[in-house]
Structure 1
Amino acid sequence: MRTVKNIIYIIIIMVPAMYFGYTGKPAEMGIAVVASALALTFINMDKFEFFKGAGFEAQLRKVEKATEEAYATIDTLKAVAAPIIAETLHSINYAMRFSAGVAEIQRKLDAKHELDRVAESLGLKYEPLNKEQANFYRLHTWDLYSWAVNHFSKLKVDHEIIKQLHDVRKEKRYTDDFPSKEQIVSILQSEYSKLDQEGLDRIEDFLYFAKNKNLRRQITEEE
């Protein structure tokens, strides 16, 4: 009987989360994990013998056992939720980076914030999740940098200068050592005068995201 019940627990947790993950809805996937915890709470209502009165008086059959099982259920939920949230964030980090580019960053930020809220509410301590959270900002900051540099090419900035700018990312892409505005201007030298307002805005977008982990303005489409 206990084995069957454990299987039910797993189904309640996994099925909704897996469905939303499969259909590309990471925020809903995180919410499903929390909803599953509530469902598990109600499954364990058989620990109560009866309810009565306006004050909802309840008598526990075995208080100590119920308490132990409640903690075990929470621990199980955390053990299952942590890798699911980490894998979901991994998908957010890498999905559509090249097809949609920076136009999808705000939507990804919204999904990440929802997953962070779920992880925080559950008190999750999980190294792969911490790694994916750090990777999110590193990857998208460098994407914004490349987005700016690619625009410079359209302004007929010298090819060798463009190459130097791309080499900065190539050398530091696995780090958070992002170039400052002064460094970018130093590489551009006299070519800096060729930048239009959009080029200047993109530099500011990159620098703002690197510092604040958020977008400076709404980016509606890839140009």
Structure 2
Amino acid sequence: MSLAIIAGALGLAFSNIDKLSRFKGAGFEAEMKMVEAIIENQTEPSSEQREEARRADAITDIESRVLNSLQKPGYTWRYAKTVAGEVSRPLREIESTLSSLMSRGLAKKAAGSNGEIWAATAVGKSVQEQHELKAR
């Protein structure tokens, strides 16, 4: 009986998932920002996003390295401290770079269990790809 109630509650939650920002119950928790980032991370940028990336300002080499670190396979969200270690730059510089990328729509942040977590947007991925192509 309790299993049927849980299944029904989950079914109702997912039928209205577009209206939820956070769902918690029966040992299950989901936050839409996290789900959206996972989906965006696993999909290719759309043609509109690629065109927006072409119109975006050029990025620096360090911004490219930060965006590349945010796209590391197996991870959707990254802590600034982890990114700083991977690109061998001071944490303050990486935090500033991430904020700059976010203000331009190339990165986004959310709250993680140990502080702010960061992810590249689809436009950010496309801008980083174009930067790498130009550098070749």
TM-score by length of 1: 0.26
Q: RCO greater where, 1 or 2, for CA within 8 Å and sep 6 or more?
A: 2
Structure with greater strand share of residues: 2
TM-score by length of 2: 0.37
Structure with greater helix share of residues: 1
Max Rg structure: 1
